[in-house]
Chains A and B, each alone.
Chain A
Amino acid sequence: MNDNLIWVIIGMGLVTYIPRMLPLVMFHTNNLHPRVQGILKNVPFAILGALIFPGVLTINPDSVLYGVIGAAAAFIAAWLNLNVIIVVLASILVLYGYTFL
């Protein structure tokens, strides 16, 4: 299928772009029911939960503990209101150190 792979890639691009674009550009949402507005405002926080779990537990297929330690480091750093980039670097460092224990 190598000959038409580039066409497959373009097809993948289209079916990825359309859901990204449609609601933002096409929906007329100025008179949405307040309930629906509320639900849409809930989405970011709900999706964060779903993006973190269970994924973070499987970053190292051999050890759930690895993900737990990384998540705990991030949680503590975030609890201290550190900047996002510091939280990210701190958890990488903690895990990097942990691999040498």
Chain B
Amino acid sequence: MLPSPAISSEPTHGLWKKGIQAGLPIAIGYMPVAFTFGLLAKAAGLSLFETVGMSIIVFAGASQYIALSMVAAASGAAELILTTFIMNIRHLLMSASLKERAEDEPKWIKAIYAFFITDETFSVAATSQEKKITASYLLGLGLAAYSSWVVFSGAGYLMGSGLPESLQASMGIALYAMFIALLVPAAKKSRKVIALAGTAAVLNSLFSFIPFLSGGWGIILSTLIAAVSIEFFVKGDERNE
């Protein structure tokens, strides 16, 4: 191994790379989802510009899918925007939670990396071993996920035919496998984590049978109920995480 040229005085450089690395599983997981979005967007009559534009500007999977079905159903603009808002209101919770661990950095920088908060980037960042979450880390993470989302939306539109069915189906596990991989190591160390995830999982499964709680609300409600109730049950006796 070559002697390393004077240890970099910028620790942020390494964090940026770490972020990209942590974003790779998301990039893989987004691939089939974005690809399918591109395909469906074409079928719904969007132009390539509108399809890629939506992925660039909105960057939120589920609500983009719903937007397509609403465009196809000729829904009104206000209805479409309101639905998007409701679907994505859960980001409030993630943004507030992330703030608790965010490095003290200028607001405008936070305003930039806030754009990249998704279920997936949040989960990775919030469970990472970093002591404080920095802009470099989050931007690396966010850009890895974002570029996959944007590029494969366009690719899906242009290819015009699906991935081979067996591959498409098996790749559907990717994001869930990532969530499981983030959860299990923490759950092995803490019963509180098991209680939190278990409670929210059971609640969200129950909520999925209630029509008006589908979409965004089920996730927010189950997360909030679990996070609040466990905090009060567990009190101070497991502060050793």
B-binding residues in A (CB < 8 A): 1-2, 4-13, 15-17, 19-25, 27, 29, 35, 37-56, 59-60, 66-67, 70-71, 73-75, 77-79, 81-82, 84-85, 87-93, 95-96, 98-100
Contacts and interface: CB of A to CB of B under 8 A. Distances in A.
Contact of A45 (B80, B176, B196): B196
A95 B173 contact: yes
B143 interface: no
Interface of B: 22, 24-25, 28-29, 45-46, 49-50, 53-54, 57-60, 63, 67, 71, 74, 76-77, 80-82, 84-85, 88-100, 102, 107, 110-111, 114-115, 117, 119, 122-124, 126-127, 166-167, 169-174, 176-188, 192-193, 196-205, 208, 218-219, 222-224, 226-228, 230-231
Given A8-B81, A49-B204, A95-B169, A22 B95 contact: yes
Given A9-B54, A23-B95, A42 B196 contact: yes
Nearest to B29: A88
Given A20-B88, A39-B231, 6 more contacts: A12-B63, A12-B80, A16-B85, A21-B110, A24-B98, A59-B172
Contacts of A37: 100
B100 A85 contact: no
B65 to A, nearest CB: 12
Given A12-B81, A25-B111, A50 B203 contact: yes
A17 to B, nearest CB: 6
* Chain A binding surface, main DSSP class: helix
Instruction: Give me the 6 closest cross-chain CB pairs, A-B, nearest first.
Output: A49-B197, A44-B126, A78-B184, A70-B173, A49-B201, A49-B200
A48 B123 contact: yes
A54 B197 contact: no
Q: Which of B24, B196, B208 neighbours the largest number of chain A CB atoms within 10 Å of its CB?
A: B196
Nearest to B60: A16
B177 A39 contact: no
A15 B84 CA distance: 7
Contacts of A7: 77
A21 to B, nearest CB: 4
Q: Which of A51, A66, A93, A96 neighbours the largest number of chain B CB atoms within 10 Å of its CB?
A: A51
A91 B173 contact: yes
27 contacts: A1-B71, A1-B77, A8-B77, A11-B84, A15-B85, A16-B58, A16-B84, A17-B115, A19-B88, A20-B91, A21-B115, A27-B96, A29-B96, A39-B227, A42-B231, A44-B126, A47-B90, A47-B200, A48-B127, A52-B197, A60-B169, A78-B180, A91-B176, A92-B171, A92-B173, A96-B170, A98-B170
Nearest to A55: B176
B81 A74 contact: no
Contact of A8 (B80, B179, B208): B80
B176 A70 contact: yes
A11 to B, nearest CB: 4
Given A16-B58, A53-B201, A23 B99 contact: yes
